[in-house]
Amino acid sequence: MKSATNLAASARDYPAKPVRIIDPFGVGGGPDLLARALAPKLTELWGQSVTVENIPGAGATAGPASVAKSPADGHTLLINTNAQAYGAALLKDLPYDPLKDFIPIIPLTRQAYVLVTGKATGVTTVGGIIAAARAKPGELTFGSTGIGTGTHVGVEKFNQAAGIKALHVPPSPNDSNADTIANAIAARFTYCLVPISLALPHIHDGTLVPLGVSTARRSTLLPEVPTIAEAGVASFDFPIWYGIWVSAGTPTGVVDQLANDIGRVLAGPDLREWIAKHGGEPLSMTQPEFVHFVESESEGAARLMKASVKP
């Protein structure tokens, strides 16, 4: 075990080499865009190169697996969504433990998903989805970016809150967010939740129909679209959130420095403006609070999914 002196030295010397931010979802997704906004700010602050490396695949678990195996020195960071918390409760036979093999550092932002359907379905409202599901119990289908992701858990929460049942159509192992959207447009399933920023181009060209946003307040990116709660599913609130993790065993001093330094960068006016422009809002917590938040989110997802399989 390292002494307090060694822990302090580890933090004082950090970063001692270039830092990588691993994104498990691929180029152009929400985490990728946010990581690429963070990287130059951290490079400037630390005087060390900070780069973004995309490691998609295996249902968005290849990236976290890479970070879990990396040296526990804080030079390899994982940017991930709420999928990191939900996977601990929902995914089996992972090559890592999403809770035990990682240390949560800091939350980055939260934003809305949008519930969408392809134009070909003919559905135009949240009420239309609910009515169709009740008319044909268990026959409607919904898509996601993978079992245990926020897009999966969020629809299960919507289904429970709306009192409907539908069949989950998970993606193929190497499918991306873009594939999920393409499948929605082609009506290979009836509805799904996707991050607003990724859905916007297809909403604007009319191939995706926005039914409702998943947060308690409307999104500035889609101000004319009601919240799911406004559309009749009372009190529904399910944001997508992003955070930073490192591998377990990283020295406490490095963990604290990462939380403080990334927090400083996030508080800068230009990055706050960038986040707001992309439909996000701050999610401010101390590092211990974020640890508790991740654990609580994992437990909540487990309860939700257990209830979803009841007859």
- DSSP alpha helices (H): ranges in the chain? 4-12, 30-46, 62-68, 83-90, 126-135, 150-162, 177-185, 196-204, 252-266, 269-277, 287-308
248 and 100 Cβ atoms separated by less than 8 Å: yes
Nearest one of 151, 203, 129 to 29, comparing CA atoms: 151
Tell me, what amino acid is at 249? Answer: G
Nearest one of 47, 63, 209 to 122, comparing CA atoms: 209
pLDDT of amino acid 88: 78
Phi, psi (degrees; rounded to nearest 5) at 234: -55, 135
Residue range 112-213 forms a domain whose CATH class is: alpha beta
Give the residue extent of every domain in the chain.
4-110+240-308, 112-213
**CATH superfamily of the 4-110+240-308 domain:** Bordetella uptake gene, domain 1 (3.40.190.150)
- Plot region of 74 (φ>0 → left; ψ -120 to 50 → alpha; else → beta): left
Are 4-110+240-308 and 112-213 the same fold in CATH? yes
CA–CA distance, 21 with 139 (Å, rounded to integer): 41
218 and 89 Cβ atoms separated by less than 8 Å: no
pLDDT per residue, tens digit, the chain (311 aa), is 444 444 444 567 899 999 999 999 888 888 999 999 999 999 999 999 999 999 988 778 899 999 999 999 999 999 999 999 988 777 778 899 999 999 999 999 999 999 999 999 999 999 999 999 999 988 999 999 888 888 999 999 999 999 999 999 988 766 767 788 999 999 999 999 999 988 999 999 999 999 999 999 999 999 999 999 999 999 999 999 999 999 999 999 999 999 999 999 999 999 999 999 988 998 899 999 999 999 999 999 888 878 776 54
